[in-house]
Amino acid sequence: MITLPQYPNLYLIDHPLIKRDLSILRKKKTSNVVFRTVLFRLTKMIAYEVASNLKLTESDIETPLEKTKGYQLKEDIILVPILRAGLGMADGFLDLLPDAKVGHVGLYRNEETLEPVDYYSKFPRNLKDSLVFLLDPMLATGGSASAAISFIKQKGGRKVRLVNLVAAPEGVDKVSREHDDVAIFAAHLDRGLNENGFILPGLGDAGDRVFGTE
Ligand code: PRP
């Protein structure tokens, strides 16, 4: 993973297959079907990378031949996709972390103020002791992610990692400023935001492209 001195909380995942798949998602001609399929594949690779420093516990196990040491994940994991677009990342994570519980937080951006508006939230028990992966393909102004992290913390969550496909510097700054305990993982740090708060070059509106509502 790549880190940059000006964004100490940001971890950029660097892998040729991730670059290839992100390019497919960026293309405007990519259909909804292909977008969903590639998003699933790409998210699995991101989950694999993000899981690389999970803690393990050891226990004795028996192979058909003899005893040896086995390993289990130490921490309970909760995935929290930010509705809607984050839903497109949940299955990729669940494929690699099938024991994870899933919480939901529903936020949309008021398109004039760009402020997040919450419309739904439901979290599993044991938020306090679990490691939370907050999922959203896009980190633009950072308003949605920062509000979602605040919700999770209000409900008792203490260990949160944010996982994005594309992040804008503005969003990284905001989340880092408001939640300096939260590591941000992204497949790419994009150039910035346009006057409508869209990420450039970005990939358009991920929620619309996942669900065909554009
Ligand atoms: C998009 C995206 C993030 C948010 C990013 O959601 O999925 O949740 O905007 O913007 P921000 O960093 O400026 O808050 P959108 O509001 O389009 O809702 P959707 O997921 O329902 O499409």
What digits encode the pLDDT tens for the residues 12-70?
999 999 999 999 999 999 999 999 999 999 999 999 999 999 999 999 999 999 999 99
pLDDT computed for residue 110 by the predictor: 82
Instruction: Give the position, in ligand 1's atom list, of the atom nearest the Cα of 86.
Output: 7
Instruction: Give the position, in ligand 1's atom list, of the atom nearest the Cα of 111.
Output: 16
d(CA 114, CA 135) in angstroms, rounded, equals 19
Q: pLDDT of 162-188, one tens digit each?
A: 999 999 999 999 999 999 999 999 999
Domains and CATH numbers, the chain: 6-53+76-208 (3.40.50.2020)
Inter-CA distances, 181 with 33, 97, 143, 161, Å: 36, 23, 17, 9
The Å distance, Cα 108 to ligand 1 centre, comes to 6
Q: pLDDT of 67-82, one tens digit each?
A: 999 999 999 999 999 9
Q: pLDDT of 124-174, one tens digit each?
A: 999 999 999 999 999 999 999 999 999 999 999 999 999 999 999 999 999
pLDDT reading at 118 higher than 90: no
For a pocket test of ligand 1, which of 111, 115, 136 has the largest count of ligand atoms closer than 8 A to its C-beta? 136
